[in-house]
Structure 1
């Protein structure tokens, strides 16, 4: 197994945020259209599992990955 690389912590200033919002907020993707496409096509994982719901509520500690980048939700 290869090392997936470092995890970047991104503070959301609260307890939860929707997956689609977080991808834009964290700077992983630039536009809502890109976010929608990446999630629907199954390129985004949450805690190591593909999740195709833009509205999924992320909690503090969740790790989101896309295109080799991993970002963790922190308060």
Structure 2
């Protein structure tokens, strides 16, 4: 099941996304999460917590879920 994550600005970072999606408790955990899990942004693996996500982007984390930025 795909979940939608709403943003109020032009973009959010991958680290901010992880917190909004309630996958981590604090921004400091982003680096650890990205080193432990494969994260795919628009079908390409990406582990940069500063990666900018915009409306329409999709994020998939195997065994956790699929998300769409809206």
Determine if the TM-score, normalized by the shorter chain, exceeds 0.5: yes
> Aligned residue for 1:50?
45
Following TM superposition, the consecutive aligned residue runs of length 4 or more in structure 1 with deviations greater than 4 angstroms are none
Q: Unaligned regions of 5+ residues in structure 1, if any? A: 1-5
1:39 aligns with 2:34: yes
Q: Unaligned regions of 5+ residues in structure 2, if any? A: none
Deviation at 1:42?
5.2
1:70 aligns with 2:69: no
Per-residue CA deviations over 1:54-73 (Å, capped at 9, x if unaligned) read: 00011111111223311111
Who wins on radius of gyration, i.e. which is larger? 1
Count residues in correspondence.
69
What TM-score do the two structures reach when normalised by structure 2? 0.79
Alpha-carbon distance in 2 for matches of 1:68, 1:42: 9
Alpha-carbon distance in 1 for matches of 2:46, 2:36: 10
Alpha-carbon distance in 2 for matches of 1:28, 1:13: 19
